[in-house]
Structures are given as structure tokens and as C-alpha cells.
Amino acid sequence: MQAHQDPALRLAVARGVALRAGWLLERAPAVDITGMTDPFTRPQLARLLDALDRDRIDGIAAMSRTDFSDRNGDYEDVLRRIHARRGFLALATTETDI
């Protein structure tokens, strides 16, 4: 997400998919304002991956894959990191819905 963008809509859509599935939500939503940078420089993504490592969360809900990256290789890397931690990624929309 870019610094000039408001994350409210994207968070609401992600929360909606989680609530419809009956998942408990973490109190603090994660929003990185660093743009499409290397996942290692995204503090909120790092926080979520750490929470997966510590079994504090089971997965991540997001509006779309572009919340992680619009580049295939970077997105696949994030998916590998989530799955390596026995986590899941639930996307609320397909890319064609955006």
C-alpha cells in the first residue's frame, strides 16, 4: 500500500471474508505503507510471519494478492513463507474482481 492510499476499504473486505468464515480476528490489523518493496522491509508482514511462527495466528486474510505484490515472483515468495509456517492465505477477491 502506498502512503497516500487509505487502507480502510481493503481492511473491511479482508475482515469480511474472515468474519464470514467464522475466524477470530487479531486486534491490530496489519498495513504496510512501504509500497511493493522487498518483503523483508515490510514490518507488518514480518509481524504476521512471526505470529505464524509462534502459532499466535493460523493464517492471513487479505483483499487481493496485490496487497502483497503485483509481481509474480515476490507474491510466490510470500506464499512460500506463509506455507513454510503452516499458515494459510485467504484472498477475498480474485484479481479480475478489483
pLDDT of residue 67: 87
**pLDDT higher than 60, residue 83:** yes
Q: Show Cβ contacts of residue 51 under 8 Å, excluding neighbours closer than 6 positions.
A: 26, 57
**pLDDT higher than 60, residue 98:** no
Burial 1-24 (b: 16+ CB within 10 A, else e): beeeeebeebbebbbebbeeeeee
How is the chain split into domains, by residue range?
8-97
Alpha helix (H) ranges present in 1-98? 8-21, 43-53, 72-84
> What is the distance between the alpha carbons of residues 61 and 25, in angstroms, rounded to a whole number?
10
pLDDT of residue 2: 52
**pLDDT higher than 70, residue 89:** yes
Fold of 8-97: Rossmann fold (3.40.50)
CB 52 within 8 A of CB 87: yes
C-alpha cell at position 65 = 494478492
pLDDT of residue 36: 61
- Angle at the Cα of 87 from the Cα atoms of 1 and 57, rounded to 5 degrees: 80
pLDDT tens digits, residue range 41-64?
Answer: 788 898 999 999 999 999 999 998
pLDDT of residue 25: 84
Question: Strand, helix or coil at 89?
Answer: strand
pLDDT of residue 28: 77
pLDDT of residue 35: 63
CB 90 within 8 A of CB 62: yes
